């Protein structure tokens, strides 16, 4: 897969351009499946969040970007659907748009549904994550972000990429997500990690990692400094 791991959706022209580049064609010519599942998980999950995501009424732009078509792939329903049918839906989509919410809940259902098993074979698919939808592809999210408790009892996620993500840096909605908090979180994570804000995304293609930003971000567990812009 080609990855665009956003904090808060496609919030600016730089992230939009990165998405079009990954697709290799205009958004108007591309089909997408949106995955709302993470919005139901965790202590703050509610039915309104997934509806806003699917309907394009979320403040984090994903489904409303002008796609040729958008379908809904609800992971908790896949066990009751013929596997060949839903796999064909996934393979035919140009992009997977993955909602935010609870990363551990999402990780659990990506595994349980069988979707995670498909990832290595989806070479041309563009995966666009939003918050937890981005964090789920990392090796671990850190105990600070564990809401829904997985059967394993730990904070490990899918490990598609080799870095972790601290989201919503300096967000007014998450005043506790300061750079100091990110550095303390990273010390516990130990592996490489990025702290990113609402205007930032991480683009991953063929193992190459590029930060796309019109905001603020920091590479943690390195000697990097606080960054502004791209």
Question: Which DSSP state fits 118?
Answer: H
| 127 closest CA partner among 15, 22, 197 | 22
Distance in angstroms (rounded) separating the CA atoms of residues 211 and 204? 9
Question: What would the pLDDT profile of 161-183 be if each residue is shown by its tens digit?
Answer: 999 999 999 889 888 989 999 99
The span from the CA of 133 to the CA of 48, in Å, is 17
Q: What does the pLDDT read at residue 95?
A: 99
Work out the widest C-alpha separation in the chain, in whole angstroms: 50
Q: What is the DSSP string of 63-109?
A: TTS--SEEEE--GGGGGGS-HHHHHHHHHH-SEEEE--S-HHHHHHH
Tell me what pLDDT residue 113 has: 97
d(CA 94, CA 79): 23
Low-confidence ranges of the chain (pLDDT < 50): 224-226, 230
The rounded distance, in Å, linking the Cα atoms of 125 and 103 is: 21
> Whose CA is closest to 100, among 139, 70, 136?
136
The fold for domain 2-228 equals Rossmann fold (3.40.50)
Q: Distance between CA 106 and CA 38 in Å, rounded?
A: 5
Q: Tell me, what's the pLDDT at 224?
A: 46
Please tell me the distance from the alpha carbon of residue 157 to that of residue 160, in angstroms, as a whole number: 9
Distance CA 72, CA 49 (A): 14
Measuring CA to CA, how many Å separate 212 from each of 17, 94, 110, 193? 10, 21, 26, 15
The predicted pLDDT at position 184 comes to 94
State pTM to two decimals.
0.94
pLDDT (tens digit per residue) in 130-157: 999 999 999 999 988 888 888 888 899 9
Angstrom distance (rounded) from CA 145 to CA 151? 16
Helices marked H in the chain — which ranges?
13-23, 48-55, 83-92, 103-113, 115-118, 132-135, 179-189
């Amino acid at each position: 897969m080609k990855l665009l791991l956003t904090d808060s959706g496609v919030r600016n022209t730089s992230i939009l351009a990165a998405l079009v580049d990954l697709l290799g064609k205009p958004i108007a010519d591309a089909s997408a499946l949106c995955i709302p599942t993470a919005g139901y998980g965790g202590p703050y999950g509610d039915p309104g969040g997934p509806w806003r995501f699917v309907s394009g009424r979320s403040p984090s732009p994903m489904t409303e970007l002008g796609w040729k078509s958008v379908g809904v792939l609800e992971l908790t329903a896949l066990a009751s659907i013929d596997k060949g049918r839903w796999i064909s839906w996934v393979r035919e989509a140009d992009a997977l748009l993955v909602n935010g919410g609870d990363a551990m809940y999402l990780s659990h259902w990506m595994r349980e549904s069988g979707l995670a098993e498909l990832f290595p074979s989806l070479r041309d698919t563009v995966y666009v994550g939003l918050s937890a939808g981005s964090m789920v592809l990392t090796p671990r999210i850190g105990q600070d972000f564990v809401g829904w408790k997985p059967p394993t009892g730990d904070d490990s996620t899918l490990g598609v990429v080799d870095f972790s993500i601290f989201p919503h840096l300096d967000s007014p909605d998450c005043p506790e997500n300061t750079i100091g908090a990110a550095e303390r979180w990273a010390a516990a994570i130990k592996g490489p990690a990025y702290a990113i804000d609402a205007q930032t995304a991480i683009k991953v293609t063929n193992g190459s990692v590029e930060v796309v930003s019109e905001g603020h971000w920091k590479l943690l567990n390195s000697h990097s400094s606080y960054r502004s812009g791209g």
